[in-house]
Structure 1
Amino acid sequence: GMDVANASMYDGSTALAEAALLAIRLKERNKIVCSRAIHPEYRQVLKTYLMCFHAEIVEIDTPEGITPIEELKKLIDDKTAAVLIQNPNFFGCIEDMETISNVVHKHDTLFIACMNPISLGILKPPGEYNADIAVGEAHVLGNYLNYGGPYLGFFTVKNELLRKMPGRIAGETLDSNGKRCFVLTLQAREQHIRREKATSNICTNQALLALRACIYLCALGKKGIAELTNLNIQKSHYAYERLCTLNNLEPTFKKPFFNEFVLKAKGDLSVTKINEHLLKNGIIGGLDLSGFYPELKNDMLLCVTETKSKDSIDRLITELSKII
């Protein structure tokens, strides 16, 4: 695991952007190398955040569904402040985080990992592959969808980056009576102390949702989290294997995955046709990737989590078999 976490961020995308800002300030460099397999909307937020900092954002193409190591090596130089990788990535594919970390740290560059926390029930945690900053969206931990929000960003760092970390930090101390208490600490980082020199300028966090996530994790415990992760794996792979048996559907990326996977529609079948048919029958289909990735013209991203029953997956297969 990582050493320190703040009291939460607005959402996963702003946590990633704040991590990039930390790297730019710390390294006094303006180049950010970013995998195109990071969530496209996260990358849009990143570009908006860094617009006024005259930062150079270099994106790495991912034709095989994961970040190509040799291409990454070519792009990192002495102007690079940080490398940003999501794991599992937007396509659900598992990245080789340990190898990427070794490549990044050869250049005195920060390695920023973005992740789905539930995947850590089976995948190696970021502290074990020496990530400098680990961020992501923790909405999946006991919170629910509500018309697009609110969400819950988490932000964790190594100890040496503690004083550079944005957001509020809760610390433990003793009060005047010698009793244990909790306080907001290291506030000299924040804008209400010295705005022009602040390393933290965020005004919003999601403490209520963070509390829900904390209760959820405590209720599950270590064993429960591992079981939850395995449920995600079993159900998503069951759906994937059933879907791949249908005519005119094939996997776009043949890589290990978690939760999400990408399928390509072949022949005269289109993602639009699939989704229109499913919607008429009360099923929300896969995300048409062509809007985010023009090269993926007839590919859709599907997600299956612990919330989906075997019956609902079988119903999806039944409905698809009617038009394929």
Structure 2
Amino acid sequence: MPYVPHTEDEVREMLATIGVNSVDDLFAEITEDMRPKSFDLPEGLSEMEVLSKLEAMATKNATDRVSFLGAGFYDHYIPAAVDALTMRGEFYTAYTPYQPEASQGTLQAIFEYQTAVTRLLGMEYANASVYDGGTALYEGLMMAVRKTKRRKIVVSEALNPIYRVMLDSYTSNLDVKLVTVPHKNGMTDIEGLKSAIDDDTAALLVQNPNFFGSINDFTELCATAKSKKAVSIISTYPVLQTLLKTPGEMGADIAVAEGQSLGLPLSFGGPYLGIMTCTKKMVRQMPGRMVGRTKDSEGRTGYVLTLQAREQHIRRQKATSNICSNQSLCALRALVHMCALGELGMKRAARVSIERAHVCAERLTAIDGVSMLTQGPFGNEFAISLPTNAFDAIAKLTARGFVPGFPLGRYYDGLENGLLVACTEKTSEEQIGIFAEMLKGALK
């Protein structure tokens, strides 16, 4: 709807109602030196002119790139039903379901989302989501600190470095010690992590597949953490969880994920979805909202917020979490996406993504000077070593319409020649062939 500003008479009426004579009087307590000197706003335009201007700006975006970029965010196909259903006004304008009697549809949608993600990750409980995958990791970390009363956190360096930057930021002024165990040529150092876990450890943070795309079974590692009464936290990739051993099967206490791959477009970085799940013993530490299913006095099924209310989360330093809002619309998109694909569809998307990645790895490593950086099984993402700086190759190929991947040297010293390459079900074998030929030419 177009915005219609208030008339002068309406402004005078509102000012009179609150007992001031002018807008300047309303802000009189703000000193002159603290007021904005100018908003530097352009002259107003008509709706037609604004639309034309914005469309011209939008055409400057490069929307025709072929991308092999992943690093935690993936270009999966999104069924049309996801937009059609989640853009309905009943969902799109809903906010916080404080009154269950007026919010049964929203509450049921959240309950179904919780059910779906707990099944996907093999866990027992889920909340109504947090901001993103990195935030979910931090919240899991703090759950462990509250549960164990310890302050040492053991982190694998093969965990997404973007998340590790976030953890450093969130904990910089807290009495929490992050101990990072280096990766081994892109592989998670399981033995090193075992050695780092001791009686002072609150939590273990690992990722599967790890940032380099390598797949691990953390069952023994979780058992080691459990023997020291530390909390095991595994960050996952939801799409591949349809095929891989779940965090629950590995013995994790908390499993988190970035839900972007479940029906959320890349959209310049968000909004995304922090999936959080845990075991029953950790559920009292879970931040955010949880929806439960119950019966009313007449035996009818109903849905309510349970265990915690939002007010618990706004008590400053005593709060379980100071992130009060959830990403319920994004969670709804994830739910509709999973339901639209179904179990077979999700497994097919995962399987095709993995198959395309292996074809791509075979084509790229056939180029002189290109080799696999990691060894062992990988999913739909893998790391290769180039004979030259990866930034140079990325610049050359991106200029020609192909984004070849993520430069590992951005976060890992000594891996300036490392390139992280991702494929999804949208990646065609033709695109892989063109990519390989272009990279071969760029390395000459």
Question: Shorter-chain-normalised TM-score: which range?
Answer: over 0.9
Aligned pairs for 1:213-228 within 5 A: 213-228=334-349
- Give the aligned residue type for 1:51: S
1:275 is aligned to: 394
The match for 1:133 among 254, 258, 269 is: 254
Q: CA deviation at 1:49?
A: 1.7
1:170 is aligned to: 291
Aligned pairs for 1:1-324 within 5 A: 1-187=122-308, 190-191=311-312, 197-266=318-387, 269-324=388-443
Extract unaligned runs of 5+ from structure 1. none
The answer to whether the Cα contact below 8 Å between 1:260 and 1:304 also exists between their aligned partners in 2 is: yes
- Give the aligned residue type for 2:148: K
The answer to whether the Cα contact below 8 Å between 1:190 and 1:200 also exists between their aligned partners in 2 is: no
- Give the aligned residue type for 1:109: A
Q: CA deviation at 1:39?
A: 0.6
The answer to whether the Cα contact below 8 Å between 1:21 and 1:50 also exists between their aligned partners in 2 is: no
Deviations 1:291-322 (A, max 9, x none): 20012121111111112111111111121222
Aligned Cα root-mean-square deviation (Å): 1.6
Residue aligned with 1:58, SS? strand
Deviations 1:15-70 (A, max 9, x none): 00000001001100000000000011101111222223211100000123222232
More strand by share: 1
Deviations 1:243-290 (A, max 9, x none): 010112111112211121111111xx3313311221221111221111
Point out the more displaced range, 175-184 or 148-157.
Answer: 175-184
Extract unaligned runs of 5+ from structure 2. 1-121
Q: Which whole-Å CA distance do the structure 1 matches of 2:319 and 2:304 have between them?
A: 19
The answer to whether the Cα contact below 8 Å between 1:27 and 1:81 also exists between their aligned partners in 2 is: yes
- Identity in percent: 43
Q: Which whole-Å CA distance do the structure 1 matches of 2:177 and 2:248 have between them?
A: 27
Point out the more displaced range, 132-141 or 251-260.
Answer: 251-260
Query: How high is the TM-score relative to the length of structure 2?
Result: 0.70
Q: CA deviation at 1:194?
A: 5.5
Query: How high is the TM-score relative to the length of structure 1?
Result: 0.95
Q: CA deviation at 1:138?
A: 0.9
Residue aligned with 2:291, SS? strand
Point out the more displaced range, 134-143 or 60-69.
Answer: 60-69
